[in-house]
Structure 1
Amino acid sequence: MAADAGESVRLSVVIPAYNYAHLLRRAVDSVMAQLRPDCELLVVDDGSTDATPQLLAEAEALHRPGFRHLRQDNAGAAAARNAGLRLSRGDYLLFLDADDELLPGALDAVCAAVQAQPRASVFLGGRVTRRADGREKYHPPPAALAPDLCERLADYLLRKKIGMGHGSTIVRRELIARRPYPESLRGGEDIPVFAHLFAQGEFGTIAQPLVRIHKHADSLRHLARDSDGRMALLIDEIFRGLPASCERIRGAYAARRYLSLFRIALRQGAYRRAGRHWREAVRQDARQAFALRQFRKNLKAVLAGLLRRKAA
């Protein structure tokens, strides 16, 4: 039994959905199977053209109370998440992607952590990633965070010591309301939100894995569509409003992002675009572009591109 309209809600789970009807039921069922009286599930249909509206109507008839859904014109994942934020009643928010699933016991673990760590406004939980071939890997939350904001940011953006993602990050509602998802971005919109949480709240951890994240072709397709302009917009959004001392991280992070685009373009055989991304990576931070670890990745991508070109 979930919360009625007049009852207090501790946690709102928000799922933005766009043309994922074939996967959305799994996500919805994973939440509803463990819904508590102090939790709710909201699904925002971002103008889907598949069977998503019918699926959500059936789910609402089956699961009420505790389940609500909203349909809006297509405006992107950031706008859908912000719509869910406005509709939510919970003290805390957990955003779940439509192609992922909460693991059994996740909501109990979150609510227990909120009660045990009342000073924390952000919680980082464990997560499991599953590849298309069925292989899984567990990613625990960080054991501790650096006391310095810029070091935390570097651990998140550069060193990958802090894993933050939808399904395993729980945030006080007012923190997201203060800095909502940037609707100008149509990809990577979670990164600025997560980056700014380091400057706003005290962190708690949940060792239990909360979510299974499914890696598939659509997960990577958004990166391939990133243009130089969109990438610059993302980087500006991440660092906007952060202390000036954190600007030292900006060039290195930008170079890493452009190197990723460079490798994707090579694998696709888009050599002119790859060259443009490479030049921009060098301009942002040549040390990153020629670092040994990056060099190995780049060499592998170059060889893959050459093999593709030869096969064509």
Structure 2
Amino acid sequence: MLTILTPTYNRRHTLPHLYDSLYKQGRQDFEWLIVDDGSVDDTMSWVQGCQAQAEFPIRIERQENGGKHAAINAGVRAARGDWIFIVDSDDCLTPDAVECVADAVAEAVQAPESVVGVCFRKADMQGRLLGLPREREPSPWVATPSQAGRRVQGDLAYVFRRDVMADLPFPIIPGECFVPELYIWNQIGDRGPIWFYLDRAIYLCEYLDDGYTRNFRAHLRRNPGGFLLFYAAQIGREPHWKDRVKAAIRSLQCLVYCAMNAADRSRPTV
């Protein structure tokens, strides 16, 4: 079984669009696992209504608000599928997404090497690819997440083996609620090959005003410890010296923010 894992926080107004896209899948052999990260809207009651009518299993796990990375950790622990496809609560899938993933996984498990993930493209709600178009890479193309990110310059839709994700949980940093996903995705790529299908978009998304992409600087300021883990690791992963320098500068910026946040916490309140 494939687990479609959706971390969510106060997204009752966007979840129906995702649910509709799952309902329209050509294959229904998956479970939808929702991890409610402490929502205060009516997410729970809405999901319970969907459970009564859906043709595929829907489960919901609830936790205190800890951030998307903590919700992913909880979802991996609760997942029943052998492969996990993370789909955000404000996005949706093309009608053939599950079929594409199932076909890729079926091929991957027959490979002589231990494939740890398969990956597809993301597109906007009008179907336009995010990032650069595919050029000469074969399909599937074997690469690391960092290599694929540099090639595509846009977000990608990863599907990983649950057992590998379980071995590599996101670190939880006290007082912070975010760790860049690429920090863990790269570690997963260290465990084995990831197959990239750069000619297929199966994931449709848009960037909301309160989303991560449009609020990068604020996220960096609030979560410097998580970003420091990522940028410090990237210094050794980047192949070009300019990118290594950029990662080092970001790491120093994170250290400054860590010190500022520590000073703020230690300042006595009036």
Relative to the length of structure 2, the TM-score reads: 0.75
Counterpart in 1 of 2:219? 226
Counterpart code for 2:65: N
**Which segment drifts farther, 227-236 or 81-90?**
227-236
Counterpart in 2 of 1:137? 129
Q: Does 1:78 align with 2:78?
A: no
SS at 2:170 equivalent: coil
Query: How big is each residue's C-alpha offset from its partner over 1:61-97, in whole Å with a ceiling of 9 and x where there is no partner?
Result: 2226511111222121111111111111111110011
Counterpart code for 1:209: A
SS at 1:62 equivalent: coil
Structure having the larger proportion of residues in helix:
1
Q: Does 1:124 align with 2:119?
A: yes
Query: 8 Å contact 1:60–1:69 — kept in the other structure?
Result: no
Counterpart in 2 of 1:289? none
The structure-2 alpha-carbon separation of the partners of 1:179 and 1:46, relative to structure 1 and needing over 3 Å to count, comes to: same
Work out which of the residue numbers 69, 79, 91 in structure 2 matches 1:88.
79
SS at 2:223 equivalent: helix
Query: How big is each residue's C-alpha offset from its partner over 1:231-253, in whole Å with a ceiling of 9 and x where there is no partner?
Result: 3531324655x8x9538655322
Q: Does 1:203 align with 2:194?
A: yes
Query: 8 Å contact 2:232–2:251 — kept in the other structure?
Result: no
The structural deviation recorded for 1:171 is 0.6
The structure-2 alpha-carbon separation of the partners of 1:231 and 1:162, relative to structure 1 and needing over 3 Å to count, comes to: farther
Query: 8 Å contact 1:126–1:141 — kept in the other structure?
Result: no
Counterpart in 1 of 2:32? 41
The structure-2 alpha-carbon separation of the partners of 1:16 and 1:245, relative to structure 1 and needing over 3 Å to count, comes to: closer
Alpha carbon RMSD of aligned pairs, Å?
3.3
Distance 2:244 2:171 in 1: 18
SS at 1:90 equivalent: coil
Counterpart in 2 of 1:235? 228
Distance 1:225 1:232 in 2: 13
Q: Does 1:31 align with 2:22?
A: yes
Query: 8 Å contact 2:118–2:160 — kept in the other structure?
Result: yes
Higher relative contact order (CA 8 A, sep 6+): 2
Distance 2:39 2:101 in 1: 30
Distance 1:84 1:175 in 2: 14
For these two proteins, the number of residue pairs brought into alignment is 241
Distance 1:233 1:88 in 2: 25
Distance 2:36 2:134 in 1: 30
The structure-2 alpha-carbon separation of the partners of 1:238 and 1:35, relative to structure 1 and needing over 3 Å to count, comes to: farther
The structure-2 alpha-carbon separation of the partners of 1:258 and 1:225, relative to structure 1 and needing over 3 Å to count, comes to: farther
Which has the higher Rg, Structure 1 or Structure 2?
Answer: 1
Gaps of 5+ in 1: 1-8, 262-275, 278-312
Counterpart in 2 of 1:51? 42
The structure-2 alpha-carbon separation of the partners of 1:43 and 1:190, relative to structure 1 and needing over 3 Å to count, comes to: same
Q: 1:104-119, aligned counterparts within 5 Å?
A: 104-118=95-109, 119=111
Query: 8 Å contact 1:182–1:189 — kept in the other structure?
Result: no
Percent of residue pairs identical: 24
SS at 2:4 equivalent: strand
Work out which of the residue numbers 154, 160, 166 in structure 2 matches 1:177.
166
Query: How big is each residue's C-alpha offset from its partner over 1:208-236, in whole Å with a ceiling of 9 and x where there is no partner?
Result: 21100112212245413234573353132
The structural deviation recorded for 1:141 is 6.7
Query: 8 Å contact 2:121–2:202 — kept in the other structure?
Result: yes
Relative to the length of structure 1, the TM-score reads: 0.66
Query: How big is each residue's C-alpha offset from its partner over 1:156-207, in whole Å with a ceiling of 9 and x where there is no partner?
Result: 56xx2146746x1111111111112233352353121122222112121333
